Amino acid sequence: MSEEPYFSAERQRMVDEQLLERDIVDPRVLDAMRMVPRHSFVPIEHRHLAYADGPLPIGRGQTISQPYIVALMTQLLELKRDDTVLEIGTGSGYQAAVLAYIAKEVHTVERYADLARLATRVLDGLGLSNVHVHMGDGSRGLVEFAPYAAIVVTAAAPSIPKPLLEQLAEGGRLVIPVGSRGGQILERWRRCGSEYDRDAITPVAFVPLRGQFGWDADDMC
Rounded mean pLDDT of the chain? Answer: 95
Q: How confident is the model at residue 4 (pLDDT cuts 50, 70, 90)?
A: confident
pLDDT at 2 (0 to 100): 55
Q: What residues make up the domain containing 196?
A: 4-204
Residue 76, in any domain of the structure: yes
pLDDT digits (tens, 9 = 90+) for 91-120: 999 999 999 999 999 999 999 999 999 999
Q: In the chain, how many domains are there? A: 1
pLDDT at 217 (0 to 100): 53
Residue 177, in any domain of the structure: yes
User: What does the longest C-alpha to C-alpha distance in the chain come to?
Assistant: 57
pLDDT at 188 (0 to 100): 98
pLDDT at 5 (0 to 100): 85
Residue 21, in any domain of the structure: yes
pLDDT digits (tens, 9 = 90+) for 32-69: 999 999 999 999 999 999 999 999 999 998 999 999 99
Residue 211, in any domain of the structure: no
The lowest-confidence range among 2-6, 102-106, 171-175 is: 2-6
How many helices, marked H, and strands, marked E, lie in the chain? 6, 9
Residue 213, in any domain of the structure: no
Residue 141, in any domain of the structure: yes
pLDDT at 219 (0 to 100): 54
What's the CA gap between 175 and 165, in Å, rounded? 11
- SS3 at position 142: coil
Nearest to 63 by CA among 207, 175, 184, 182: 207
Residue 74: CATH number of its domain: 3.40.50.150
Residues labelled as active-site residues:
65
pLDDT at 1 (0 to 100): 42
Q: What percent of the chain has pLDDT over 90?
A: 92
| Cβ-Cβ contacts under 8 Å for 94 (sequence gap 6 or more) | 36, 38, 41, 64, 65, 70
Question: What are the φ and ψ backbone dihedral angles of 15, each rounded to 5 degrees?
Answer: -65, -45
Q: What percent of the chain has pLDDT over 70?
A: 97
- SS3 at position 202: strand
Dihedral angle at the C-alpha atoms of 151, 62, 215, 220, nearest 10 degrees?
170
Residue 160, in any domain of the structure: yes
Nearest to 186 by CA among 196, 175, 171: 175
Residue 217, in any domain of the structure: no
Nearest to 94 by CA among 67, 73, 117: 67
Residue 221 has pLDDT above 80, yes or no: no
pLDDT digits (tens, 9 = 90+) for 132-172: 999 999 999 999 999 999 999 999 999 999 999 999 999 99
Write down the pTM of the prediction.
Answer: 0.95
